[in-house]
Amino acid sequence: MTEWTKEQQKANRAKLVKALRSGEYEQCRERLHSKDGRFSCLGIAVDLAIKEGVVPDWVMTRHGCYACEKDAYIMPDNVRKWLGLKGRFGRYTIDDMMFYLGEDNDYGVSFSELADIIENEPKNLVGLDLHDRHKPKY
């Protein structure tokens, strides 16, 4: 497994922000990547990570959408680590209220607005996940 520096993770998040604003992707809800070629914001993150060789390519599921590492709905853990995010749903807090990039996407928040959120790095979006802190040493 590859480890990324904070600088690399920040650069990877900048790639995601740029892709979200590019107009290259059409938005879908409730999955990472739909069979008609649309993506959620987290699906775009996965797509970028696939292009960089971080995770394997998309696979069509029997449910008619694409999956990466056997999941069509949640960002793979290696993509989360590549971006330096705390949670696989893009968890963050504002005024002690918890939000998720994945849910924001599903509720219709635009890619441009999601890019602004990522760029502003709200509390708890970026950093080590609890599981990252307690790696067993074998």
pLDDT band at residue 36 using 50, 70 and 90 as cut-offs: very high
Verdict on whether the full-model pTM lies above 0.75: yes
For residue 130, what pLDDT is reported?
56
Task: Note whether 78 and 90 are within 8 A (CB).
Answer: no
For residue 119, what pLDDT is reported?
97
- The 3-class secondary structure across the chain, one letter per residue, is CCCCCHHHHHHHHHHHHHHHHHCCCCECCCCCEECCCCECHHHHHHHHHHHCCCCCCCEECCCCEEEECCECCCCCHHHHHHHCECCCCCEEEECCEEEEHHHHHHCCCCHHHHHHHHHHCCECCECCCHHHHCCCCC
Rounded to the nearest integer, the mean pLDDT of the chain is 92
For residue 128, what pLDDT is reported?
74
Residues forming a β-bridge with 22: none
For residue 138, what pLDDT is reported?
39
List CB contacts of 33: < 8 A, sequence separation 6 or more: 39, 40, 43, 46, 47, 58, 65, 66, 68, 72
**Could you report the per-residue pLDDT of 1-21, keeping only the tens digit for each?**
579 999 999 999 999 999 999
pLDDT at 133 over 70: no
pLDDT at 89 over 70: yes
